[in-house]
Amino acid sequence: MKRWVRGFAAAAVVVGSAAGQVTVSVDAGKTSEPVSKYEYGMFIEHLGSLIYRSLWAEMLDDRKFYYPVTSKEEAAAGEGPMRRFAPRRWRPVGGDAVVTMDEERPFTGRQSPRIELDRATPHGIEQAGLALQKGKRYTGRILLRGTAGARVKVTLRWGAGGNEGQTVSFGGLGETYREYPLGFTAQADAEKGALEITGTGVGSFHVGTVSLMPADNVEGFRPDTIALLRQLHSGFWRLPGGNFISDFNWYDSVGNRDRRPPVFDYAWNAAQSNDVGMDEFMTFCRLIGVEPYITVNAGFGDAHSAAEEVEYLNGAASTRMGAMRARNGHAAPYRVKFWDIGNEPYGTWQLGRTDLKYYVLKHNEFARAMRKVDPTITLLASGAMPDEMTVEGITRAMHLDNLQAQFGSEADWTGGLLKHCWGNFDGITEHWYSRAGYRFDLEAAKEGKKIGRVEVGDVPVEETVLEWVRHPSQRVHLKAEEWAEYERRFPAMRDKKIFLSNDEYAYTGAATNLKLALAYAMVFNEMMRHTEFWRMSAFTMGVSTMDYNETSAVLNTNGVLFKMYGDHLGTIPVAVTGNSPQPGPKYPPGGDQPRTSAGSPTYPLDMVAALTADRKFLTLAVVNATEKAQRFDLNVTGVRLGGGGKVWVMTGEKLEAANRVGQKPEVEVKEMEAGDVTGGVTVAPISVDIYRFPVAQ
C-alpha cells in the first residue's frame, strides 16, 4: 500500500509486504553517551556582514570614520572573503574641499570629519545605500561640536525629490561634543536611501560619530534574525573568532560604544566599527538562549590579558575587572563556562604564530593564569590532527621531509598538546573544511597547488550525487579514527574524559540548497556515532543558517535542517546495524584515506537512531541522498514499539531547491503519520526523514 502526500513531492511512507532491499536492526538496549546539547553549536567572527548587517541592527557603515570622507572611489577589494562585502563610505556634500579629517582632536580613533561652513550653501557628508521600509521608525544619535551659530541638519532620504525625506535640525553647538537624538519615520520603501548631515553658517562643525537603527531593535540586535536563531537549539555560540581574534584587543571592545575606537582587522583586511564587543556578545547569547564560548587571543595577546578577560566576564563586582564590568552596566557575572585558548595557532596565516615547541609553553602559561582567576572554567586547547596539518599545507610550509603529517611529529599539533600540556586543558578543538567539487591529491599538494585561501592539493573531481553528499562526513569519520589513535597513545584521555570540540566545520563552495542539507545531515549522523568523545561542534558560520538582506530574513536549508534535528531527534544514541555496508570513499577526504567508511551499514541510506531523554520515544533519522526512492525493513529490539508513530520529512522538488528571502520556501519539513512500518518502509528521494515511535510502557 502506498500513501502519498499530494503537493509534497515524493515525501511519503510506503508500507508493503515485499522484502526490503536493506534490513536495518535497531537495538535500543545498546546505548551510547547522550548527545550533548552543544552538538548543534555555532561559530561567528567579525567578517564582512556576518555580524554588522545580519545580527547587529546598526544601519550605517564606518560610523566612527575610520576611512577618510572623499568622493574618490576606494581601491578595488582584494582577494578573499572581503571582496564580497563593500562597506558603504561617507561622501562629501559640497565638494571634497569642504571636508577635512581632524587628527588632532578626534572624537574616537584617529580622525573625525571637520566640515567648513558656508552661510547659504549646505556643506556636509552623506552615506547612501540604506534600505528603508515605509512606515518604519528609525532612531539614533549624533555627536556634534562646532562654532557658535552653526546650524546642522540631519536628513533621512527615501527619494531624490525635495519632499522625499525627513529632517531634524540642531543648533547651539559648542567646543565640546554633545549628543543629539535622531528620529525618523520613512514614508516610502527604498533600497538606496541616504542619511545626509549638513550645516550652514560661519566656521565649521565636527561629527564625532553617528548611529541609526530601526526602532524595533532588541537591545541593539535585529529582532527578525534573533527570532530565527532562537529556533535552532544551538546550545552555544563560539565567538568572537576566528582569525579575527589573533589581533583582537578585548579591552577596547567594552564600555561606551561611541567611544570605542574603530579597529582594522588584519586577518580579513577590513575595518570594524567595534560596536559588538564582549558585553554585546553576552547579550546576544542571552537573547537567543545559548551559552557563550569565548576564544582568547593567543596570537598577539598574552596570558595577563586573557586572565583579565576571564575576570571581566566571570569575576565578582568586587574584583578589579568585575568592577569595570559593573560600571559598564552589568553588575552580575556572566559565568562563562567554555574558554578556548587561541584560534588555529598552527596556521601560517595566524598573526603571532609560533612553532609548536614554543606554543605549548604559551598555552600552559595562559591556562594557569586563566584558571587562577576562575578554577571552574572548562578550558580547550586549539589542536590540529595530521589530516588538518596536511590539507592546510602547513607541513609544506614547515619544510618537513614528509608532506603528510605523522602522529608524534613536529607537525602533529594535537599530539604535541597532549604530550606537553597535559593537565592544562579539558578538551581539544579541531577544525575542518571540505571543498565541494574537489578532492585532495597528495601529488598536487607536493607541487604546492592551491585553490582558494588555504586549500593545498585540492583538484576538481566528478562525483555522483551520493558521493558528493557523503564527502564531508568522510572527513568527520577520519577525525574519529585519528582520535582513537590519540587515545591509544595517551590512554589517560579516557580516564580524564578529554573531549573533542569541532569548533569550525563547513562544506564550502556549494550553493545553500537541499543538496547541501543532505550532506550536513550525514555530517550530523557521523558526529552522533561518536558521542563518547565528540561533545561539541560549531558550524561555520552561525548566520549561514539564514538567507537575509538588510530588512528581512528566513531560515535557509541549513537552518531548516538544524531546527529539524534539534526539534525531533532523540538524545540517547542506540545501536544501528544493517546488511548493506557503506563502500569506501573513492578519494581521500583529507590528508589520508580513512581505514573504514563513514555511515551506517544501510547503504545507500544513512541512519542514526536515538531514544528521547525521557525514553518514551525511539527516533530514527534517515538520509536518502539518491534521486530515487529507497526501501528498508526495520527490526527493533530492546524496546517494544507502540502505535501512533510520526515522521517528519524534509525535501523539495529538486536538489537545487532553496529557501530565499521574499520567495516561497522550496524546502520544508512536513509532519505525517508513520503508519505500520513492520512491513517495510520506502523513503522518498533526496530527503531527510526523522521517525518517532512511542515506546510501549
pLDDT in tens, 667-697: 999 999 988 777 788 899 999 999 999 999 7
Task: Rounding to the nearest 10 degrees, give the CA dihedral for residues 512, 517, 522, 524.
Answer: 90
539 — phi, psi (to 5°)? -75, 140
Mean pLDDT on 443-468: 78
- What's the pLDDT at 325? 98
Q: Which residue has the cell 535557509?
A: 556
Extract the runs of DSSP E, i.e. beta strands, from 389-426. Answer: none
- What's the pLDDT at 79? 44
Dig out the grid coordinates for 399 from the structure: 619544510
**577: three-class secondary structure by DSSP:** strand
Does the pLDDT value for residue 83 go beyond 70? no
Q: Would residue 408 be called left, alpha or beta, if left means φ above 0 and alpha means ψ between -120 and 50 degrees?
A: left
- Does residue 665 have a cis bond before it (omega within 30 degrees)? no
For the ranges 21-35, 449-463, 494-508, the lowest mean pLDDT is seen at 449-463
Distance, in Å, from the CA atom of 207 to the CA atom of 205, rounded to the nearest integer, reads 7
Neighbours of 595 (CB within 10 A): 10
Share of the chain above pLDDT 70, in %: 94
- Does residue 541 have a cis bond before it (omega within 30 degrees)? yes
- Biggest distance spanned by C-alpha atoms of the chain: 91
- What's the pLDDT at 450? 62
Give tens-digit pLDDT for 186-223.
999 999 999 999 999 999 999 999 999 999 999 999 99
- What's the pLDDT at 2? 29
What residues are paired with 99 via a beta bridge?
115
Structural domains of the chain sorted by starting position, each given as residue range(s) with its CATH number in brackets: 2-33+576-694 (2.60.40.1180), 41-54+220-569 (3.20.20.80), 87-214 (2.60.120.260)
Does the pLDDT value for residue 531 go beyond 60? yes
CB-based contact 159:188 (threshold 8 Å)? yes
- What's the pLDDT at 459? 84
Give tens-digit pLDDT for 119-146.
999 999 999 999 999 999 999 999 999 9
Dig out the grid coordinates for 156 from the structure: 533621512
CB-based contact 381:363 (threshold 8 Å)? yes
Does the pLDDT value for residue 420 go beyond 60? yes
Distance, in Å, from the CA atom of 42 to the CA atom of 539, rounded to the nearest integer, reads 5
Q: Tell whether pTM > 0.85.
A: yes
- What's the pLDDT at 453? 53
